[in-house]
C-alpha cells in the first residue's frame, strides 16, 4: 500500500489500465463508446480505452481514500461545465459509469464492500492491493535505476 501512494499516478494508472485490459478484469459496456463521462463534458472521450483508464484511476482512488462510495467518486471525477456567457457550474460525473466499473471490479475480486465505523463503501481486497502494489514497485525500481545512471 505504501508504494501505491509514493509512485506518480501519471505513470501508475496507464500500467494498471494495461494490466486490467490484459487480464480482462473489466470490460467496457456496449454503450460505453457513445457516452460522455459526465454532464460537464462537451464531447466523448478521445481515448478508445478510456474505460480501462477510469477503472485504474478508481482503483487507486479506492486505495487512497479508504471506504469510498459512488457519490464520493462522482464528485471526484466531476468538473466545471462551461455555460456560454453564464457563470460556470460544477457538476458530478456520470453515476452509471462509476457503478458499472465498481461492480466489475467487485466481480473480479479487486474490491469489496465494507463498513468502517460510520463510513460505508468499497475498499481494496488483498488481490487488488497486490495487483497495484506489484506494478508500483516495478515503476519505483525503474525510476530508481534511471536516477542512479
| Segments making up each domain of the chain, as ranges | 2-148
In the prediction, which pLDDT does 98 show?
Answer: 93
Residue 37 CA to residue 77 CA, distance in Å, equals: 9
In the prediction, which pLDDT does 45 show?
Answer: 87
pLDDT digits (tens), the chain, 149 positions: 567 788 888 888 899 999 888 988 889 889 888 988 888 888 888 888 899 999 999 999 998 888 988 999 999 999 999 989 999 999 999 999 999 999 999 999 888 888 877 778 898 889 988 888 888 888 888 877 776 66
pLDDT tens digits, one per residue of 62-89: 988 889 889 999 999 999 999 899 999 9
Residue 55 CA to residue 23 CA, distance in Å, equals: 13
In the prediction, which pLDDT does 57 show?
Answer: 92
In the prediction, which pLDDT does 139 show?
Answer: 85
Contacts of 42 (CB under 8 A, 6+ apart): 36, 82
Q: Tell me yes or no: is domain 2-148 CATH 3.40.50.150.
A: no
In the prediction, which pLDDT does 9 show?
Answer: 84
**Helices and strands, number each (H, E), in the chain:** 6, 4
Amino acid at each position: 500500500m505504501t508504494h501505491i501512494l509514493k509512485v506518480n499516478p501519471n505513470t501508475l494508472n496507464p500500467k494498471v489500465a494495461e494490466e486490467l485490459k490484459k487480464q480482462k478484469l473489466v470490460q467496457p459496456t456496449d454503450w460505453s463508446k457513445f457516452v460522455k463521462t459526465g454532464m460537464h463534458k462537451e464531447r466523448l472521450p478521445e481515448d478508445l480505452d478510456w474505460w480501462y483508464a477510469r477503472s485504474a484511476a478508481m482503483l487507486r482512488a479506492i486505495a487512497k481514500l479508504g471506504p469510498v462510495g459512488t457519490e464520493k467518486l462522482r464528485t471526484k471525477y466531476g468538473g466545471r461545465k462551461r455555460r456560454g456567457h453564464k457563470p460556470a457550474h460544477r457538476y458530478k460525473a456520470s453515476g452509471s459509469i462509476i457503478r458499472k466499473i465498481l461492480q466489475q471490479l467487485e466481480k473480479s475480486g479487486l474490491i469489496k464492500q465494507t463498513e468502517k465505523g460510520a463510513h460505508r463503501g468499497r475498499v481494496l481486497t488483498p488481490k487488488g492491493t497486490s495487483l497495484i502494489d506489484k506494478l508500483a514497485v516495478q515503476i519505483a525500481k525503474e525510476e530508481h535505476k534511471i536516477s542512479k545512471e
